[in-house]
Amino acid sequence: MKYTDTRDKNVSISLKEAVLGGMNKKTGGLYIPVTFPSLPTSILERNLTPSFRDIAYESAKLYCEGEIDDSSLQQIIADCYPFPAKVVPIDPTTYVLELFHGPTCAFKDFGARFMARIMSYFNKDETENLHILVATSGDTGSAVGSAFSGVPGIDVTILYPTGKISPLQEKQLSTFTGNVRALSVKGTFDDCQKMVKTAFTDKDLRSKFRLSSANSINIARLLPQSFYYTYSSLVVKNRCWADNKIEDPSIIMVVPSGNFGNITSGLIAKEMGAPIKGFIAATNANKTVPDWLASGEYKPRPSISTYSNAMDVGDPSNYERIKSFYTLDSIRKLFASYWTDDEGTLQAIRNCHRRTGYIIDPHGAIGWQAWDDMRNGEMQNLINGIPGDPSKPGLTPSLTSWANDVPEGKTVGILLETAHPAKFGAIVKNAIGREPTIPERLGKVLSLPDNSIPITNDYNLFKEWLMENL
């Protein structure tokens, strides 16, 4: 398998080069597979759903062919995923895909652990350390820090916006030691991400250090996230008749979306043959992509702080990948988009709990509300051509082509619950009157000392720190 560049299709490199390089430092482009391989029918058409690890191995093998031997890849998969991806029904046509059972209680564990292990595999014969730079708007940093902690030959620097993530998320980030360090930046996530991207194209840094990324700009983060889309869609396809007497369901993946890496992974899974009909991209007030789908014009903007802070991204990196895969019309057929504000987020947490008994986090709550609105009339309004206002919360108008592709009575939703609600205890309490129980693995970090390093939003100062400390 070869990989190319979103900005230069003449580029053809190996997985090792794509993973260790992070992005094309000459063009600023992102790496993508030249083609999407198809999963074997033995995986897709088996009556009994294969295990998550089996699906992960068979999927990864297609992208690692010729670079990681089968035995090593099987061991990597086993090491990555000692925890499950749970599919939980919460009403007759809604399943929640719980992605918070990993060590840091967020979906980022699925991508970060795989990436850490294949980076270590590819880096084992190098004489110089690899330096990972990563910006985080919430859960990425803790997942990456946990995944790379203690990995020989690799150092990690995490940038996060001061005061713009939940207290528990900040505690997770600020307590790393050893080869993982966290910088608390007086700015926004977009500021952090811009500094990381600038560092990758900085000739002084490139000449002195081996740099790579652990954000979703690195293809090694996106490929493993496709595993749980394939797994959950096969689980639901195979159990849907027993659960709700729906045969051959039209499965809609509902994806809380910020940097749009997660939904890009879903698109990859669909291209590989996963039985997914379409997607809903659920966003907060940082609605750059919904506005693009409604108007056809992409306008990045400064990010806005919201309750769903992991989605506070005004210029999503993976827009570039999505645009390189599909035309705008094709994208409109593949996924609808939805946005809401903080008040809508609180109401969604409240409504989901009241109607299903399920306690959901602020990111998943926006997805739940998007799905609930869609199946309770909003999608029919689009089909009927009723005009909408993209400046107001709700499904983005004009996506009639996507709506018309969904067979009536066959639609089932899989909602990605991307983080444990306990990471946002105060917000959840504001909505339902009580905080969720904190898992033991999260509670342990509360007593650890703060080791974060404060820094201003100034690239030159950041560069100076890197030159002195890497």
Beta bridge partners of 462: none
pLDDT, position 396? 80
Dmax (CA) of the chain:
63
Tens digits of residue pLDDT in 211-229: 988 888 899 999 999 999 9
| Cα-based distances in Å from 41 to 37, 38, 163, 251, 265 | 12, 9, 48, 19, 20
Q: What tens digit of pLDDT does each residue of 52-68 get?
A: 999 999 999 999 999 99
One-letter amino acid for residue 192 of the chain: C
pLDDT band at 50 (very low <50, low <70, confident <90, very high): very high
Q: What is the pLDDT of residue 386?
A: 62
Per the model's pLDDT, the better-predicted residue between 389 and 348 turns out to be 348
Region 121-130 average pLDDT = 90
Looking at residue 216, its pLDDT comes to 84
Reference 138, options 165, 100, 98; nearest CA is 165
Between 383 and 13, where is the model more confident? Answer: 13
In the prediction, which pLDDT does 459 show? 98
pLDDT value for 437: 95
Domains of the chain: 220-439 (3.40.50.1100)
Using pLDDT thresholds of 50, 70 and 90, give the confidence band for residue 335: confident
Identify the bridge partners of residue 86 per DSSP, sorted by sequence position: 98
- Asked whether 255 and 233 are in contact (CB, 8 A), the reply is no
Q: What's residue 398's pLDDT?
A: 60
DSSP character for 399? -
Q: Which residues are within 8 A (CB) of 207 and not within 5 positions of it... i.e. 6 or more apart?
A: none
| CB distance 255 to 310 below 8 Å | no
- pLDDT of 441 > 60? The answer is yes
CA Rg value for the chain: 21
More confident residue, 140 or 86: 86
pLDDT in tens, 260-316: 999 999 999 999 999 999 999 999 999 999 999 888 999 999 999 999 999 999 999
Mean pLDDT, residues 389-397: 80
The reported pLDDT for the residue numbered 176 is 92
pTM attached to this predicted model? 0.92
Whole-number pLDDT of residue 25: 84
- Is a pLDDT exceeding 60 seen at residue 469? yes
Helices 189-200, 459-469: axis angle to 10 degrees equals 60
Cα separation, 300 vs 286, whole angstroms = 10
Structure confidence at residue 209 (pLDDT): 93
Q: What is the pLDDT of residue 196?
A: 92
Rounded to whole angstroms, how far apart are CA atoms 457 and 462? 8
303 Cβ contact list (under 8 Å, min separation 6): 137, 188, 189, 190, 286, 312, 313, 314, 315
Q: What is the mean pLDDT of residues 242-246?
A: 91
Q: Return the DSSP state at 106.
A: B
